[in-house]
Amino acid sequence: MTAGRPPRVLIDATSVPTDRGGVGRYVDGLLGALGALIGSGVELSVVALRTDVERYTRMLPAAEVIAAPAAVAHRPARLAWEQTGLPLLAQQAGADVLHSPYYTCPMRAGCPVTVTVHDATFFTEPEHYDKSRRTFFRSAIKTSLRRASRVIVPSKASRDELIRLLNADQARIDVAYHGVDCGAFHVPSDEEKARVRARLGLTGTDYIAFLGAKEPRKNVPNLIRGWVRAVQDRPEPPALVIAGGQGHDDDIDRAVSDVPAHLRLLRPGYLRYADLPGFLGGALVAAYPSYGEGFGLPILEAMACGTPVLTTPRLSLPEVGGDAVAYTSEDPDRIATDLVALLDDESRRHALAKAGVDRAKEFTWASSAEVHVASWTRAASMNRVAW
């Protein structure tokens, strides 16, 4: 890298899923904020799936956006291309740094590599992953810690777990909190709430919201059991709406089968992005009793929408929620008790909603982008010959 010139960074966005889940929100939010830093803090190239090229070209008119080969849309092909085609592309783009935003990276990139490791739950909560997924990501994390010039994590909790469990070098880890787009996630109008209620068939009915992947780590079955115990004897029991991807937690179906007939549980799948503020902001409570998160973007988004949040004090979640959320445990009885306490205390729900909106403003993609650029600048200062 020439002295005085911002580093040229190639970001590999080919791991972004079409559903714009957690990694999609991260990459989209980061790239949106980096647009303001192109030229002064960073020179940027982005390689993306062909379905995302137009999106990123509009978002980043000053960046070079490159379409990946069509086959990369399939995960096995993407992983193979990451090891062969991506290093060649980095060389062609003249990259000083290659950034991989989702755990994996090339073994030999020809330039310094930075990697985002989102969490260490594959080590701390191994029972919540199937064997093949657990084995793959454990290996990927270990390889990234060994090969990457710098590792970016979204919370201090994730950093500390990597150090504790894998003896990671703290000096090479940078903490970049995720942000929230307060334009997309905002306190919704009554019209936005009514539109989502009508689409869900919940006009005139209160509900509790869950938004996220239905993985075992998210603890959805115990949320269902806790909700049943909390509301089954109420004269007007609020519904439970579990939105998001299908996931792979078979225990959810078993929990659903035990729900009494007079209670309403909805599983609408993915909701339109534009409907998320109305969905979250229209709920009595957003419940997220996870066994642990690397960051906890769903609770931050719910906070930004003015929704009182009930979550657990596991790993990074207190870093995000602070005093602006209510806490429970993973146990269904405790979930029921703490949910009842919130449902019966309207003034506390209002106080949490206000505190959540205020706290959410502290997490910005602009701040995250600045940490990323600082990490890339440090990585770029390494001797290219060593790579």
Q: What percent of the chain has pLDDT over 90?
A: 86
For 8-179+365-382, CATH number? 3.40.50.2000
Nearest to 44 by CA among 307, 172, 171, 36: 36
Q: Summarize pLDDT for 246-268 with one digit per residue, the tens.
A: 677 789 999 999 999 999 999 99
CATH 3.40.50.2000 residue spans of the chain: 8-179+365-382, 190-360
pLDDT of residue 1: 57
Give the chain's mean pLDDT: 94
- Tell me the DSSP string of 13-44: -TT--TT--HHHHHHHHHHHHHGGGBTTTBEE
Nearest to 302 by CA among 255, 357, 381: 357
The helix/strand/coil state of 139 is helix
The four Cα atoms 31, 36, 39, 45 give a dihedral, to 10 degrees, of 10
pLDDT of residue 383: 53
Q: Summarize pLDDT for 346-378 with one digit per residue, the tens.
A: 999 999 999 999 999 999 999 999 999 999 999
Token pair recorded at residue 344: 């019966």
Confidence of residue 208 (pLDDT cuts 50, 70, 90): very high
Q: Summarize pLDDT for 295-331 with one digit per residue, the tens.
A: 999 999 999 999 999 999 999 999 999 999 999 999 9
Longest alpha-carbon distance in the chain: 71
Backbone angles phi, psi at 93, to 5 degrees: -80, -5
Which residues does 176 contact at the CB level (< 8 Å), separation at least 6?
A: 152, 153, 154, 367, 368, 371, 372, 375
N-term to C-term CA, the chain: 13
Nearest to 184 by CA among 368, 362, 365, 372: 365
Side-chain-side CA neighbours of 215 within 13 Å: the count stands at 20
Average pLDDT over residues 265-283: 95
pLDDT of residue 349: 98
pLDDT at 18 over 90: no
Side-chain-side CA neighbours of 151 within 13 Å: the count stands at 30
- Tell me the DSSP string of 257-289: HTS-TTS-EEEEESPPGGGHHHHHHTSSEEEE-
The CATH-assigned architecture of domain 190-360 is 3-Layer(aba) Sandwich (3.40)
Q: Summarize pLDDT for 180-202 with one digit per residue, the tens.
A: 998 899 999 999 999 999 999 99
